Structure formats: C-alpha cells, structure tokens
Amino acid sequence: SKVDNSCSVIVSVNNSLVCWGLETYGNEEQKQKYLTKLCMGEWIGAFCLSEPEAGSDATSQRTTAIDMGDHYILNGTKNWITNGGSSKV
C-alpha cells in the first residue's frame, strides 16, 4: 500500500467484507465453495454498497432482498462496485 493505496483497498474488501461475511453468515456449502479460493488469492470478492440515489449512505439504501427459503430475490441498482470488474464472488 506504500506504492499504491488501491492495493490495500482491494485486499481489505476481499478479507474484511467478503470473507468475513461468508465466514459469519454463509452455510457450510458456501464456505467450502468460496472461502478457500478467496483466502488463497485464487479468487477475489466484490462489495456492492453504493446506489445512484443514496451514494454510500447505508441508511438510505433502496435495494431489497426477499427471502424465498432456499434463495433470495434481489431488487435494486448498485454502482461503483469495489473489485466488480475482476471478482469471482
């Protein structure tokens, strides 16, 4: 990060947001499928917070997730997705 601060952001998003979220909230199948590759650096994870109307104000987000039992239906628009162009997750 001394040379390019964006490198620390990329690693921080992958480790602190993506891997932590999977470890904390993922089921065993998801952990087995994603965590090893994310932790070994084979894959990189993305994080989507910003929305056109809300920016990065998490309290003003409009995106919804409806729990359908075995999956979720997501409805909304995100922009400025960190690691979005190179992410596998």
Tell me: pLDDT of 1 over 70. no
Q: Return the pLDDT at 89.
A: 83
pTM (2 d.p.) = 0.75
pLDDT in tens, 23-46: 999 999 999 999 999 999 999 999
- The residues near 86 (Cβ < 8 Å, ≥ 6 apart) are 44
Residue (of 13, 22, 1, 88) closest to 48 by Cα position: 13
- How is residue 58 annotated by DSSP? G
Q: Residue 68 corresponds to which tokens in the numbers above?
A: 């359908």
Q: How far does Cα 71 stand from its chain's mean position? A: 17
pLDDT in tens, 41-74: 999 999 999 999 999 999 999 999 999 999 999 9
Mean pLDDT confidence for 73-83: 92
